Amino acid sequence: MGENGAGKSTLIKCLTGIYEYDGGEIRMEGTEGNLSIHSTQEAQKKGIATVYQEVNLCPDLSVAENLFIGRKPKTKLGFIDWKAMNRMS
């Protein structure tokens, strides 16, 4: 959806909190005003994540485990909520 150097990757990195942008506005339905994202964790809490075209998967993990690397849902006791993870994947 754009030529090389058009800024596609930079936009994605701004949306996912890898880069902080220094101009313009990002708006998201359901939020008020300019969307401000300062970290990847903050982006994930706001429902923003990226699925990269070229992915290095962990072959010993399930599809659900690969999708939730670093953000597995937990039970009230702090254990991995396998049912929730499989339902959401």
Tell me the per-residue pLDDT of 16-38, one tens digit each, with 9 for 90 and over: 999 988 888 888 888 888 888 88
pTM higher than 0.75: no
Phi, psi of 69, deg, nearest 5: -60, 125
Can you tell me the distance from the alpha carbon of 89 to that of 85, in angstroms, rounded to the nearest whole number?
6
Residue 84 has pLDDT above 90, yes or no: yes
Distances, alpha carbon 61 to alpha carbons 39, 48, 56, 67, 84, in Å: 26, 23, 12, 10, 16
* pLDDT single digits (tens) 53-67: 777 788 898 888 988
Contact 10, 16 (CB under 8 A): no
**CA distances (Å), 60 to each of 63, 64, 69, 74, 87, in order?**
10, 12, 13, 21, 20
For the chain, domain boundaries: 1-50, 51-89
